[in-house]
Chains A and B, each alone.
Chain A
């Protein structure tokens, strides 16, 4: 079975540019999560969706960040405008809705803002 698929794997762009990260969850999973990992702050939850609806976006750092889930098989995390401090590894994860189910993570997008 295909796992969580993220693209691109690496992104290098200049400050001020718009960045779009993409995620395809595991088919049938009802929850989708976006995380950010840095050396200073570790692994942080940014936002999560249930059945394509955002449930908790309290981890989104500021208005420059936005996330959408237009359908059950696709989600995007957008940063506009990007800043050097946004450099991090961004992970997407998905899980089943029912019960206490584990999350399955993608391989991440390594983002560098110059």
Chain B
């Protein structure tokens, strides 16, 4: 079973920031938080990952709470091409990912 909880769906206006929450209250000290997304009929795409510090790359920002029990993925200026299912995954060494149902993000014009 997935170790994370995400809302099943969210809407976001084009050009606005999309903030996708994830709850992982049972995360262990050696587990990272990963975010992937899957655009319709394509393979999942890696977005970002982090352990305890906030992270930022060219795609998104990841904010992890101090107790590490939850995180938020931020897409700063959402576009229509960001419409996808977003998966929050907790994983330790060995690379085994367990995908949940994710959040279906719809970016609307």
Contact of A105 among B45, B100, B101 (CB under 8 A): B45
CB proximity of A100 to chain B, nearest CB, Å: 5
Contact count A vs B, C-beta below 8 Å: 49
B99 touches A33 (CB 8 A): no
CB proximity of B24 to chain A, nearest CB, Å: 15
Could you tell me which residues of chain B, from 62 to 109, have a CB within 8 Å of some CB in chain A?
87, 91-101
In the assembled complex, which residues on chain B have CB atoms less than 8 Å from the CB atom of A55?
A: 94
A15 at the interface (CB under 8 A from B): no
Contact of A45 among B42, B51, B96 (CB under 8 A): B96
In the assembled complex, which residues on chain A have CB atoms less than 8 Å from the CB atom of B44?
A: 43, 91, 93, 103, 105
Could you tell me which residues of chain A, from 57 to 71, have a CB within 8 Å of some CB in chain B?
none
Contact of B43 among A44, A45, A95, A106 (CB under 8 A): A106
A86 at the interface (CB under 8 A from B): no
CB proximity of B96 to chain A, nearest CB, Å: 6
In the assembled complex, which residues on chain B have CB atoms less than 8 Å from the CB atom of A93?
A: 43-44
| Chain A residues with a Cβ under 8 A of chain B | 4, 31, 33, 42-45, 48, 55-56, 91, 93, 95, 100-108
For the A-B complex with A42-B100, A103-B46 known, give 14 more contacts whose Cβ atoms are closer than 8 Å. A31-B95, A33-B97, A42-B101, A43-B87, A44-B99, A45-B97, A100-B32, A100-B93, A102-B46, A102-B49, A104-B46, A105-B45, A108-B42, A108-B43
